[in-house]
Amino acid sequence: MKRIGLLTSGGDAPGMNAAIRAVVRTAIYYGMEVFGIERGYAGLINDQVIPMDMRSVSDIIHRGGTKLRTARCMEMLTKEGKDQAVATLKKHGIEGLVVIGGDGSFRGAKCLTEEYGIPTIGIPGTIDNDLEYTDFTLGFDTAVNTCIDAINKLRDTMNSHERISVVEVMGRHCGDIALYAGITSGAEIIVVPEIQFDIEDIVMRIDRSRANGKHSNIVVIAEGVMSAEEFTKKLQAVTQYSVRATNIGHIQRGGSPSMADRMLASQFGNKAVRLLKDGIGNRVVGIRKNEIIDMDIIEAVSMKKTFNYELYETLQMISL
């Protein structure tokens, strides 16, 4: 393979730029040409294609967001849209494609391989960590660190005023950001979509912690359950302590990627190009038990995300 394309799609995530850099530099190392496609599948359909060289990815390893920008593109779900996307690839002589995004983006890549025979490789770029086949997705670690930083600050003021802080974090239908941020920031309670919450039990745990000498509490709630505002109203109705709501919001999606995300990005990008170089497509890359792996796209997107109940129990045991 002599010429490959690269795009970022779906929600952005810290580490996407570092992955772009790794893809471009690895491809050049192997003597391949690389074309960046701007605005995800929308740019592929509208022929927004730019040549990438060694210097085009200088000074981005530490930057959040994505240099190629990203978009959601409904046209990609239609036959006309996909035909147009493939026409753009053919026009530029692009033989294989690296897609950095979440499961929706992977489904787009799968269509290009299955229906048009274009080899594609998916790199999991989403802060949600909602893909079962990989232990971690790109951006998750940085997003959790951003949540920890916010919770540290909230804890200061909650302690002074002896309040309860309800903190909403992202993750869509997945509770991983809440779970990891909750454990590592010392939150007393996490509320996630995977486990039905019991408000009386939460009040009991808070009361017990106060009886044990705590002056404040942190409740981390995943956006997939309900908003922090809504949960705060429910909790305030049944507790004697003052409750305040905070939504960390899109701050979680930005910022300089952590060491873990830069490392993952570098390894994922490198692996993706090595596969394409050997003519292997229809795969996604990931990390399992600290090892970089690749897997069939269809198999990967059809795996149902499981929740780490052991970590949840750990939090229950050590948070009070």
**SS (HEC) of 9-28:** CCCCCCCHHHHHHHHHHHHH
d(C-alpha 52, C-alpha 70), whole Å: 17
Residue 295's nearest CA partner among 148, 109, 61 is 109
How many H-runs (helices) and E-runs (strands) does the chain carry? 11, 11
Distance of CA 269 to the CA centre of its chain: 16
The 10 Å Cβ neighbour count of residue 306 is 8
Active-site residue flag, 128: yes
260 and 180 in contact (C-beta within 8 Å)?
Answer: no
**Residue 288 C-beta: closest distance to ligand ATP, Å:** 19
Which residues form the interface with ligand ATP (CB under 6 A)?
A: 9-11, 41, 72-73, 76-77, 101-105, 107-108, 111, 126, 128
**Residue 12 C-beta: closest distance to ligand ATP, Å:** 8
- Name the residue nearer to ligand ATP (CB basis): 25 or 107: 107
d(C-alpha 311, C-alpha 151), whole Å: 19
**Residue 214 C-beta: closest distance to ligand ATP, Å:** 36
**Residue 188 C-beta: closest distance to ligand ATP, Å:** 29
**Residue 142 C-beta: closest distance to ligand ATP, Å:** 14
- Name the residue nearer to ligand ATP (CB basis): 232 or 252: 252
- Residue number of the CB closest to ligand ATP reads 104
Residue 268's nearest CA partner among 113, 135, 118 is 135
- Name the residue nearer to ligand ATP (CB basis): 74 or 211: 74
Catalytic residue among 103, 128, 130, 294: 128
End-to-end CA distance of the chain: 57
- Put residue 79 in one of left, alpha, beta given phi > 0 → left and psi -120 to 50 → alpha: alpha
- Name the residue nearer to ligand ATP (CB basis): 34 or 76: 76
- Name the residue nearer to ligand ATP (CB basis): 5 or 102: 102
The single residue listed with the structure tokens 């949960």 is 231
143 and 14 in contact (C-beta within 8 Å)?
Answer: yes
Positions annotated as catalytic residues are: 128
